[in-house]
Amino acid sequence: MNRITSTSPSSDPRAMAWEILRRVEEEGAYADALLGNAPNAPTLAARDRALLTRLVYSTLAWQGYLDHVLAAFCRRPPAALDAPVRTLLRLTLCQICVLTKIPPFAAVNTAVELAKRFRGGAAAGLVNAVLRRAATSWRDVQFPSRQDDPIGYLSARLSHPRWLVERWVAQYGLDEAEAMLRANNEPAPTALRVNRLSGDPAKLLEEWRRAGRAAEASPYSPVGIRVADGGPAEAMPGYATGIFSVQGEASQLVSFLLGAQAGERILDVCAAPGGKATHLAELMDNRGELVAIDVSARGIERLARMAQRLGLSILHPAVADATTWHPADGKFDRVLLDAPCSGLGTLRQHPEIRWRRTPEDIASLAALQRQLLLRAAEWVRPGGVLVYATCTLSSEENDEVIGRFLHEQPLFLVDDPRPFLPAQARELVGRGDALRTFPHQHDLDGFFAVRLKARG
């Protein structure tokens, strides 16, 4: 099948959404990257661009729910359908069942035309038959009983894989897990971090408000701003000149946790794409030395470009595998390990992750995290600080990694992070003196971070 974008009109957000969703499913691509690089997106009106984003994110988030509904109207299981047709059916059902402001007849007619144009008459007939039945009867579809099978009910109704629901119910309890699942299906605000070396959050916020941009100060980060009116943040005034960066609010808090000071020597392990590394350099007033390593060459290139745009000269990005790397110039005052993780705290930003991860991934990642944490500890000077952070809600990757590390490394102890966090964020420190953020409680991505102190 030819790419839709090679022949379709540039002004059709539904056709563009279908193309992006196909690449996410068939190529393992990430939706945010495809949306950011969609060749026709800049030509769309703001309303159509917002619709394109909503179609993509909502279809991915509600995929399990949509497949459950779809199964009621197909002779074959959704998994057995032609992949592009299955994606088109999900996209259209999402408009009917989730984004209910779109008239069903318009959604169905568009889907039939797209199927006819790109998959032929037989596919168009199937799409027409399934969607017209679904458009009138989707509310009658039966779900597992909440009382008899609460895991199955939450999995199907709130669109998460069953294994993940089982884990979160066991870890957080039924009510808490349900609130978390609901929050994961809601759109997240775009968060920005103002470069304190060249911008002032209050002044920037006022300028944007006067320009008609919907924006508000972050409730937790003193350099954070939330924007909610769509459109690429990179196109906003001030981005090209380094006044601000795009970075989640919870991610911003991790850099504060390290307590970086001007003139120090700091190491950021697994630093790409560079949000925390550049924030650390800003917190150091661009004085000292910040070594940022990552195994991804593309990620390091992106980090270097970001540092240049922000005017940060103390950053030294390098491609390196932390499991084998040896620093040439001794130990560091502070080390940040933002560990590779399952990303299950970022399902609002990356809804496709829930369909890709497996229980085996969690165990594998936890083993890697333990290895990296032990390596990172070797590079901390006596009396120095090591921060371990993830963007997941899995206890195997968080509390269990820290517990095992402390057992194997008696030279380290958990340090109270509250004095290093902005005052408004200290309430986010919970059990085990760990920073813990949740989408359903704080409207933040799910992050975990612990500040570890090396005995002097």
**pTM reported for the whole predicted model:** 0.93
Query: Which residues make Cβ contacts (< 8 Å) with residue 108, sequence separation at least 6?
Result: 92, 96, 128, 131, 132, 135
Contact residues for 378 (Cβ-Cβ < 8 A; gap 6+): none
Q: Which two tokens stand for residue 329?
A: 């110039």
Strand partners, 437: 447
Nearest to 182 by CA among 355, 364, 440: 440
Nearest Cα neighbor of 320 from 280, 366, 372, 270 is 270
What DSSP designation does 233 have?
G
pLDDT at 7: 41
Cα distance between residue 236 and residue 352, in whole Å = 27
Phi-psi region at 45: left, alpha or beta (left = phi > 0; alpha = psi -120 to 50): beta
- What span, in angstroms and rounded, lies between the C-alpha atoms of 217 and 18? 35
Strands, E, within 320-408: which ranges?
Answer: 332-338, 380-390
Which pLDDT score is estimated for 42?
67
| 391 is annotated as an active-site residue | yes
331: alpha, beta or left? (left if phi > 0; alpha if psi -120 to 50): beta
Residues of the chain where predicted confidence (pLDDT) is lower than 50? 1-2, 5-9
CA 231 – CA 236 distance, rounded (Å): 9
Choice among 74, 97, 341, 391 that is catalytic: 391
What pLDDT sits at residue 8? 46
Cβ atoms of 389 and 337 closer than 8 Å: yes
Return all residues near 289 (Cβ < 8 A) that are at least 6 apart.
Answer: 264, 265, 266, 314, 316
Identify the burial level of 354 via C-beta atoms within 10 angstroms of its C-beta, where 0-12 means exposed, 13-18 middle and 19 or more buried: buried
Strand partners, 192: 225, 246
Residue 300's contacts (CB-CB under 8 Å, 6 or more residues apart) are 271, 272, 292, 293, 294, 317, 318, 319
- Rounded to 5°, the CA angle 379-382-386 comes to 50
